[in-house]
Structure 1
Amino acid sequence: MNSLLRLHTRKLFLVGSMAMLLTGLSAGLGDYKGFAAIDWVDVVGEGSTALALLVWLLMVLRSRPAGRVTNLLMLGLGFMFLAMWQDTLDEFFAFASTQAWEATVEGSVESVLMPMGLGLLTYGLWHWHKEQLSIRAQLLKREQVFRDHLWLDGLSQVARYEQIEATLNSDWEDEHAHQVALVVELHDFHLFERRYGYSEADRLLRETGEYLILNLREKDLICRVARDRLIILMPYTRPSQARELAVNLRSAVAHFCFHLSGTDQRVEQVLDVGIGVRQPTDDPQALVKRATDALQSAVAGNGMSLVS
């Protein structure tokens, strides 16, 4: 993440230089008011606003690569920060009414930079909104109607179990919404991990998760619950449909070409699938447990099992 901030060193240098220039001009051309004459309430209010804008600017630059949207957000927040910074400086330095600097600084810096910043920030947020819609389409199978970055699994880049809980609890009363749940894992993954090491095993999990996402429908949701175990919710899906989709997933993983790093060796994988079917007295945890029990049967049997 820090590497992204290094992409914007020129932007930070520009904002910092402008802030130092305003400070130097105010101190050099203005007269210090004196401690007793300073309105400290205004200093705290305007200073904290300037500080907040600067923090927002750093957060944007630290989390975004270079590009048009980043530049617009940076310019908007930068101009607003400089305007509020000059407002803060005005609480410490007074200018004689005959000085042209009074009109130049207060009229231009405060009255021009603030609306310019708001305009650029608004325009940048409009493009950011369109960007988010595109990202939302890519993340749909990972989050559906809930988003919380704390629920994102850092290894597999799919959601964690909290996402499943929130989704199931939100519309559990609709008995047709969640009729089935799938619990899947790679067959004998522990042997692969022991033979090829943790790094290769982590890469296998990450790439398998991405591959499963490509083979799911738009309305499905996939989450990670254990080392190599995933839960897949398939809303408004009958058990017969779920079985057919599970067969397709197993076939897809069987044809997945996972090559060991630095070699041409391909390691074939087998996906074990357990299908849990909802019963009238079930709660969300019972459905997940039924799917987990089905997975245990699948591991001991032919790789796929349905428990109703």
Structure 2
Amino acid sequence: MLALHKWKLLFLALVTNLALVGSLASGDMKTAAQWNWLDIVGEGGLILLALIWLLLILHSRPSGRVTQFLSLGLSAIFIAGFQDWLDEFISFPDNALWDHWIESGLMPIGLVLLTFGIYHWHKEQLLITEQLRKRERLFREHRGLDITTSLSGAHYLRAQLQHELAKGEHTNSLALVLIDIDNFAQINRHYGNREGDNLLHALSELLLLNIRRNDLLCRYAGDRFALLLPNTGTLMANTIAAEISQAVRHFAFKPQQQQDSIFHSVSIGIAFSSGQSATADTPDTLIARATHALLRAKEQRDLHQPRAA
């Protein structure tokens, strides 16, 4: 992983060497009697730890905004600490203001950048933890998981629908969302079934990122997913569906056989069952209404697609 960040390390080495050469050129070496060993050990330990932290982060993380903040912050702290450590061996003239600027200027800048990095790292970890919780819920509570996507199937969806509908008036509203991948068959034809399975797995992870903790995502059939949204009204269900559609449109799938990214879209159908009319609904009727809405959405999509001459 360090190979991905070689330019960061080379830049840090260059700046460190420039600071060392500049200090030797503008100052005079102190005698051993003038050395303060407590400061030498303490400040040296600080810059050593900053360097170790930097190497650990670069070794364990890919490039990105969080890595940039963390590496820049620790690099600034390292350089400021290194310049301060050189003061224990070199006596600078009073007009060498650049020495004070490096020591006193880079340290707070580095701490600010490091704080930004830790803050975004915290947010990143919260998203990862939420994703793991959703996966844990699927494996702990659901059975009959699909091998390709690790999601529950249609049988479990019907059982959960029956359970939610049986609550009757105790539930505010129930939404069932069917999500169909547009032109999925072309992936299997052009790249093979393995790439089609890879796409289904990747999209299942993407969909999990865009739902709430108590929502249930299933692989309903083939390239079709089903999303059960308990206690969800029309506005919230439409909002979640729009967010899912937008997330899929911006998702770049990269088949192993080519370097270019492939972008997809989905058609979505939604059916609702409110608490007052829940007794009249069954899993089959709710699925039928969602399927009908999905087919209408696919027809509208086909109408607006440009036709080849």
Is structure 2 residue 297 aligned with structure 1 residue 298? yes
Return the offset for 1:264. 2.1
Q: Deviations over 1:35-63 (max 9, x none)?
A: xxxxxxxxxxxxxxxxxxxxxxxxxxxxx
**Match for residue 282 of structure 2?**
283
**Match for residue 220 of structure 1?**
215
- Work out which of the residue numbers 248, 271, 288 in structure 2 matches 1:253: 248
- Work out which of the residue numbers 141, 160, 180 in structure 2 matches 1:167: 160
Return the offset for 1:137. 2.2
**Superposed structure 1 runs of 4+ greater than 3 Å apart:** 140-143
* SS across alignment from 1:201: helix
**Match for residue 142 of structure 1?**
138
Between Structure 1 and Structure 2, how many residues are aligned?
Answer: 168
**Match for residue 30 of structure 2?**
none
Return the offset for 1:210. 1.0
Give yes or no for contact 1:146–1:163 (8 Å, CA) kept in 2: no
Q: How does 1:111-260 map to 2 (within 5 A)?
A: 137-139=133-135, 142=138, 146-148=141-143, 151-175=144-168, 176=171, 179-260=174-255
* SS across alignment from 2:188: helix
Show structure 1 runs of 5+ residues with no match: 1-133, 304-308
Q: Deviations over 1:273-298 (max 9, x none)?
A: 10112262211211111111111111
The alignment's TM-score, normalised by the length of structure 1, stands at 0.50
The alignment's TM-score, normalised by the length of structure 2, stands at 0.50
* SS across alignment from 2:271: strand
Relative contact order higher in (CA < 8 Å, ≥ 6 apart): 2
* SS across alignment from 1:286: helix
Return the offset for 1:167. 1.4
Return the offset for 1:178. 5.2
Output the amino acid matched with 2:282: D
Show structure 2 runs of 5+ residues with no match: 1-129, 303-309
Q: How does 1:61-140 map to 2 (within 5 A)?
A: 137-139=133-135
Residues 214, 141 of structure 1: alpha-carbon distance in 2 compared, 3 angstrom cutoff: farther
Residues 221, 298 of structure 1: alpha-carbon distance in 2 compared, 3 angstrom cutoff: same
Separation of aligned partners in 2, 1:135 and 1:258: 20
Give yes or no for contact 2:176–2:271 (8 Å, CA) kept in 1: yes
Separation of aligned partners in 1, 2:186 and 2:238: 27
- Provide the alpha-carbon RMSD of the alignment: 2.5
